[in-house]
Amino acid sequence: MNVILQRRGDFLEAFGKDAEAVAKALGTAVTERDLVAMATIPVHVQEGSFVALHAAGITPHIIERDEGLKAAWRRTHADFKGTVDGKRSLMVFRHDGPALVALDDLTPAEIARLYPRDEL
């Protein structure tokens, strides 16, 4: 199984099903951010955590925010993206329904969800 991790400060973050798999493999808690499951790995224990993830059959992939935004834009169908007030924007589905969101305002969880898994 491939999981996406995003660096945020001193942590690597996983969201959704990735978070559940990471937490189960590492024996850590699943928390929540913006109504989405989240698991974190402190950067200072990254090496040992990756060994444990590999042992559990999980391949971690760290993506940078810019890489994730480019992939989200590229992957989104033309009917669900465009330019609004000079900003590239996407239609995304949030907990309260569909929303038109500027690309730069996507949450880490949305980036993880939109990142193309076939490119890992």
Each residue's pLDDT expressed in tens, for the chain with a length of 120 residues: 999 999 999 999 999 999 999 999 999 999 999 899 999 999 999 999 999 999 999 999 999 999 999 999 999 999 999 999 999 999 999 988 999 999 999 999 999 999 988 878
Fold of the domain built from segment(s) 2-63: MutS, DNA mismatch repair protein, domain I (3.40.1170)
53: CB partners within 8 A, 6+ apart: 3, 22, 25, 26, 59, 60
The pTM of this model reads 0.90
Q: Is 104 left (phi over 0), alpha (psi -120 to 50) or beta?
A: alpha
